[in-house]
Structure 1
């Protein structure tokens, strides 16, 4: 027996008994139910505190008699069982932790009081998992008697090296035959210890096996793992480490300063000697939003203050992440540029995962599972393709490369912008961009055309919401179709979307897309179907009409009407006639407008189209009340409302309630008018139908003025004016100005009333549309009262000032300073 120490006594005694029994280490291990490495570790003294169960198993396998067993146990008793391993503690943080107070509190509570033994901090590369783990380990270390053991797996790419790294950090001497898990488990034993495994993603299976074994065999062990991928071990509690909070786009100075992402950027910029002034913080905020608060990206962006201004950094980041380089020389290579950080994740993907990762970069604003199948699976949608894409999606979520949104009934997926840009560059490198983007375009053309069919009836609200969600993808698809001069795709997509742009009040955007598509179609006339071209012309014409560009609107609509008639498309012709009737109506050519709507009605009746009939009757009623024919107007509007209510057409119900409300208004029934207009306003707001909102506010303002509730009238009319001005509807904006002038006159501010009347007259002169007949008497009455109150010279001065002021300035509430009486209009 060796005299060096008790540990060697036990090791030597075990070896002597094994040899006396004529057993090899492997044979003894098999008889005892242990691993051969475990026996080897005990004989070499690497395991200094074998558990009593292990000793009994060995004694039984060696057939020791009572005297030998007593000697065996005595040698174990003399061994230093209270040995505390010299563990490697967590690194000292290089700087103060910014933000993370909620994450720190929640994670420490889990470890201290939640009975949790394995917490995985997961998230994309550079999000700050390691930094948070250091803070958590520091905060909870006093609760672990045996201390905190920090294991960096940065340079441990395979299973044996991972195990060796843990053994080394925990103070276990390894032999040439490497340490096994049961050696680690026996070394830790029953000690209360926190083990932190940092950067598990490149050896996730080994780390998962290690954690599972240690947690089963070491009852007082707790583990924190940081990984871009989940371990998927029983008992694992996952905490997704999110980027730092960024300020909203219109945040005030204090809100910008308090945002964690801004605080980190400023701290890192200060390390370079740069301290942005308050007037530069808005650009800091832009930079933080561009990188979405990812800490590594913030660090790398702030490092650029040595060569770029804050404005330049923000401008560059809005279009590219390529300036995110030049990190600390002492940082790991993968944290010195954002691309290096993502290379690390990309290289851990399988070939199928890489192709999928590249393909989903073509989406903008997120995607659904069906969209991913259509774009990333060339063989079409089948049960097998759905299952494959679902599996790939799950794997990339686990690896923190895809985000999932679960708020709606259908899951939606997205990527951080820096990851999407990186994936896009990888797609470029693969040479597959054109084919993948074409599938993206084809999918969203089909989606838009299907949605267009659902924009009438009770599905309208849901379809609009769906298109809202997919708007970024639709815009990207339009841009690709037009940029690559794919005339048919561009025309079909723009034509399918124009009604959505109308209902949501995006008149200018809708016109721009349609005009671009029409320009391409003229260069490639054989590539575009006449149906798509007529639809695009009609849509462009109607949106031009809504912005009171009547000549351009009429030209587009007449061309569309001719195409519909040549092709025998009666329903297309009926709808176009309806739009042409709208132009005549706003130009106060009521007879012609009525004739056009009657012709449209006849076509709808011939084709037995009840929805078209209802809309034609609505517009006949609209023309009727504008020219003071309230009896006929009521008949048409009532019939239209009955149909729209039966079929749940939110847009139609809104317009019918507006018409009936106006009829009640001009008939003197202000209570009924207010009730109907409140209903139309509420419905339009719920639907997100901006034209309906603007009209309802306008007419409610007229009702309030007639009720003598002038302050309420001002509020309603101001809101209506802002809505119509933003939409570009100058015809209705002029009417709102004239009603505001009547309110100003009632307030006794004749100069401001004259200013508003002048502004309205300038708008009407520009668009060539007179005051509607039903509004003319009140406008003339206001004009006469204002002129009498001011006198010729003062009236001319105020009127001229209004005519010279742009509509947007009037809508913003800025009368000219030269009119002292207008400084406080009300």
Structure 2
């Protein structure tokens, strides 16, 4: 399967071995064109998520906005549901408006498929968000998976039952989904497995004992590494008969009891260390990696975490994902019960929080260096557990205060501004004034507030941060606070105040004797102020220092910001070739880091350069691609006169060169182009 571009959706890689429930997939596909909300409903372990994702794979190309999966099983805070959905869609968080308002506005003119997976524990939040989206976005189709209905008037329910089990004596696999599924999973577990009539008969007994529940069948198939098919069937019958003597004839058990029994049997068949790790893994939410497991769960009782993880994967008790693992809900729930019995929840939860604080600290310390792409990926991969670490403790604790502030890279640089404001404001409102992490928290919140256009609130925050930092003698925090005051002056149009503020910023950093990304950011701020005053030669000089600092550290993000400003200055000096090189360098990095706002600005700049060069065709096509990007990712807040006026002048120039009809046609070509091709054109 060809890789789907990240801007067209985020469905997992194409499923291999999708067996059974084909009729439910077909029915879902028939319902989608007319039903705005379909809830795939059923008990745990019956395959609701697989059905939804498989249907989305098959119809993704019918939606110009793609198909997007939002996994909710690890989420605990319904207040952040809109943030979770927005992040899955790649929606840029810029304005200070509510996330629901921005999300609904973004979706209003889209045609896309939205999958909300595992809604049952966030029902009120899912119900409210779905209602808001459906009321404003007629082109959006929502597929929810849940154990309960959302109970909305537009909702269509698609009930999913376990596989129909074969009748005694029926041994034709092709005629029965449960048999097909079990034999497929058995073949994966034991590739050399021979299946004759006796094995088929035993497989039928297994399917009946397990009520055709897909997850139960998958777990049972793993036992074939140890038992023959007939031995496995005998073991299951003996087990169920012993546990439930009121069913001496082996009548089907309630589905929940069946699944729990099979999970319990899988637990008993694990080694002691595997059982212990299984219980401890329940403290994680969503995706987690080997490093996190080693740090949180490892001790003298667990000799080799990697081998134990591999063993749990082999037993279908852990799902591998790119970069790590995740647990299915029924497996995690069982592990959580075991951890509670062990009395170890509090200790493991505390270790979980400290690990993710350590991760945030390392990302912050290492951000000013060559590993920015890696850290961006790791922070985004870990977002569900970072939320859990923030939500599992009081916001007034020193850990919560430090974590909320230390994650400023995630909130600001990686575009999760509104979510960051939620956690930072909560901590600010609760933190004691004596907390040493408060200055960082205040300047981080002020940084995001200023970026969102709340200049007065941002000023108050960073002034408070500056005062507290100086009282503590924390000159690094004072430098960051002063830097945000400089940026506040810039965005308020007070460019004459910027230079003195930047000088004071650099003085504080020198007193702190720290190497920080704040220094090149300060210089880019100074260069932006000079650009707005038309002092282009000074801009080039300042940005040469930015390049020197960033290149020495292997830093990309600030360097790309500086390259964008450098392109404007070089264009002002009439150096069109140099302006093009700088804009392309900025575009290349911003595209790799998925900084969609930075990509849009760089595209706009390249279009302006093309207009100055008299290339109306290139201007129109680049502007079409730029507008497509702005609309695709809901970009707002960059429409100030200083940034929008060159775009307007470039369009007017291109229309004069081409004529309105030709401009509109070429603009449409750029708008309709896929973004990968648009980037290749812009960089070529």
Scaled to the shorter chain, the TM-score interval is: 0.5 to 0.7
Task: Tell whether 2:356 aligns with 1:449.
Answer: no
Query: Any idea what SS the aligned residue of 2:537 has?
Result: helix
Q: CA deviation at 1:740?
A: 4.1
**2:314 aligned with 1:398:** yes
SS, match of residue 588 in structure 1: coil
Partner of 1:344: 265
Measured after TM superposition, the shift of residue 609 of structure 1 is 5.0
Q: 1:554 aligns with which of 459, 483, 491?
A: 459
Is this contact kept in 1: 2:293–2:305, CA < 8 A? yes
The structure-2 alpha-carbon separation of the partners of 1:249 and 1:430, relative to structure 1 and needing over 3 Å to count, comes to farther
Task: Tell me by how many angstroms 1:445 deviates.
Answer: 0.9
Shift in alpha-carbon separation, 1:728–1:546, aligned structure 2, 3 A: farther
- Could you say what the CA RMSD is over the residues aligned between the two structures, in angstroms? 4.3
Q: How does 1:363-762 map to 2 (within 5 A)?
A: 363-377=284-298, 381=299, 384=300, 387-404=303-320, 412-427=324-339, 432-481=344-393, 484-485=394-395, 487-521=397-431, 524-525=432-433, 529-530=435-436, 532-607=437-512, 609=514, 611=516, 613-717=519-623, 720=626, 726=633, 730-732=637-639, 735-746=642-653
Describe the SS at the equivalent of 1:457: coil
Contact 1:547 1:727 in 2 (8 A): no
String of CA shifts for 1:598-645, please: whole Å, max 9, x gaps: 221333345555655544333222211111112222211112212211
Ranked by relative contact order (alpha carbons within 8 Å, sequence separation 6 or more), the top structure is: 2
From the CA coordinates, give the structure whose radius of gyration is larger: 1
Q: CA deviation at 1:364?
A: 2.7
State the distance in 1 between where 2:508 and 2:528 align. 19
Alpha-carbon separation, structure 2, partners of 1:442 and 1:418: 26
Contact 1:546 1:728 in 2 (8 A): no
- How many equivalent pairs are there? 470
Contact 2:46 2:160 in 1 (8 A): no
Q: Work out whether residues 724 and 733 of structure 1, in 8 Å CA contact, stay in contact via their aligned partners in 2.
A: no
Deviation at residue 462 of structure 1 after TM alignment: 2.4
Shift of 1:675: 1.3
| SS across alignment from 2:325 | strand
2:506 and 2:30 map into 1 onto residues whose CA distance is: 69
2:314 aligned with 1:314: no
- Asked if the contact 1:283–1:311 (Cα under 8 Å) also holds between the matched residues in 2, the reply is yes
Counterpart position of 1:265: 24
Q: CA deviation at 1:564?
A: 1.0
Q: Distance in 1 between matches of 2:311 and 2:646?
A: 61
Matches within 5 A, 1:232-311: 263-266=22-25, 276=31, 278-280=33-35, 283=38, 291-293=48-50
* Pair 487,503 (structure 1): closer, same or farther in 2 beyond 3 Å: same
Instruction: Compute the TM-score of the two structures, normalised by the length of structure 2.
Output: 0.60
Residue of structure 1 in register with 2:65 after alignment: none
Mapped to 2, the partners of 1:461 and 1:386 lie a distance apart of 32
Using a 3 Å threshold, how does the CA distance of structure 1 residues 275 and 623 change in structure 2: closer, same or farther? Answer: closer
TM-score in terms of structure 1 length: 0.50
CA distance in 2, matches of 1:343, 1:622: 62
Per the TM alignment, residue 651 of structure 1 is displaced from its structure 2 partner at its CA by 1.8
Structure 2 unaligned blocks of 5 or more: 2-7, 56-116, 118-126, 128-140, 151-158, 168-207, 214-254, 661-670, 673-684
Change (3 A) 1:493 1:603: closer
Name the CA shift for 1:728/1:475 in 2 (closer, same or farther; >3 Å). farther
CA 1:557/1:502 → structure 2, altered by over 3 Å: closer, same or farther?
same
Task: Decide whether the 8 Å contact of 2:587 with 2:603 is kept in 1.
Answer: yes
The whole-number CA distance in structure 2 between the counterparts of 1:372 and 1:354 is: 14
Return the alpha-carbon distance in structure 2 between the equivalents of residues 425 and 614 of structure 1. Answer: 50
